[in-house]
Amino acid sequence: QTPGTVPAADRPPLHISQDRTVALLSAGDGTTGRGRQVYATRAAIERSSARLAAAGAGVRLAADPSVRVVLAREDGTPGELLFRVEPRFLTASGASEYAFTRDFARMVAGTDTAPLSHLAFRT
């Protein structure tokens, strides 16, 4: 398969990065402005989380091993596992807490006031 939108059984399509290390669940135009599931390799998640830490963001990224996607390589063999990406917000004590909220984008961007409509993961 070539990179692009790949339909999965009983799921909306995935938008897949060219290097196949990040995939975004895309249910179509109805998801604009709403939270979306993101899948990535462990290496991409760890690299992005380290960059967030270096930037002083109050959030880290973690792999959810219970939800994974396997994309086929061009030769049809199974590719590297992509795990659902979960945000872990840091409390004042530095402890992690799980949360799924729009505040995730604001914390990543380091602002409380700007309305955000997109979030990009660079690998």
**Residue 116 falls within a domain, yes or no?**
no
Mean pLDDT of the chain: 74
Three-state DSSP class for residue 107: helix
Residue 100's domain comprises 5-109
Which residues neighbour 117 within 8 Å (Cβ) at sequence distance 6 or greater?
A: 32, 33
**Residue 92 falls within a domain, yes or no?**
yes
**Residue 105 falls within a domain, yes or no?**
yes
Tens of pLDDT, residue by residue over 56-80, are 888 899 999 888 888 888 888 888 9
**Residue 123 falls within a domain, yes or no?**
no
Domain count across the chain: 1
